[in-house]
Amino acid sequence: MTSSKEIIDISPLISSSIAVFPGDTPFQEEFLMEMSSGDNLTLSKITSTVHLGAHADAPSHYSSSGASIEKRLLSTYMGKAQVIEVNCPRNSRIRIADIAHVNILASRILFKTKSFPNPDCWNSDFVALSEELINYLARNKCILVGIDTPSIDPADDKLLESHNAVFKHDMAILEGIVLDHVDVGLYELIALPLKMAGADASPVRAVLVKQEKN
């Protein structure tokens, strides 16, 4: 019996069209040299928020005593992950009751809400997580939570109850992933943040690896 691995990209395309939180810095690329203009190579620079597309929040983003992204354990962002789909009203938080029918089978949980369907079009009424859910996942030995929206807290929330619960349990956060083409189930997650000194987040190239036996 042989096995093959299917790699599923769960990262949105990064371009000047991608939506960011209102007031945050949009992605822009500027070409300093271009072979099409006669230069010997193509060279560009970018300006952007670090909370771009699929990204990992650092604890320093939501706590004054939190670590910046380069100090986080890489092993947290790679390993067994479980995709869970929920059907929650827009502008709501996912509660324990919403996943009561699901057995937690991995230490990294990714929520498929389908409430932020177009990464290039901002909508503020996306589904978020709740403090009670984070506490429940922590009791189930989860080390990372991910979601297919820009944030694990609502867009207009200032108290950040879910971020603060994550900090209390020293969990990791993965936001902005794309799961509309992903079935529920178990995968291997790879979503490594960049080693940026002092950064409060980092974009990631997030993928799920599905083991298939033939």
Return d(Cα 69, Cα 67) in angstroms, integer.
Answer: 7
Return d(Cα 108, Cα 91) in angstroms, integer.
Answer: 24
Residues contacting residue 27 through CB under 8 Å, at least 6 positions apart? 14, 15, 16, 18, 20, 46, 47, 48, 49, 52
Three-class HEC string of 142-193: CCEEEECCCCCCCCCCCCCHHHHHHHHCCCEEEECCCCCCCCCEEEEEECCC
User: Which residues are the active-site residues?
Assistant: 61
SS3 state of residue 9: strand
Residues contacting residue 214 through CB under 8 Å, at least 6 positions apart? 1, 2, 3, 4
Measured CA distances, 12 to 69, 116, 203 (Å): 21, 12, 11
Residue 163, both tokens: 């971020």
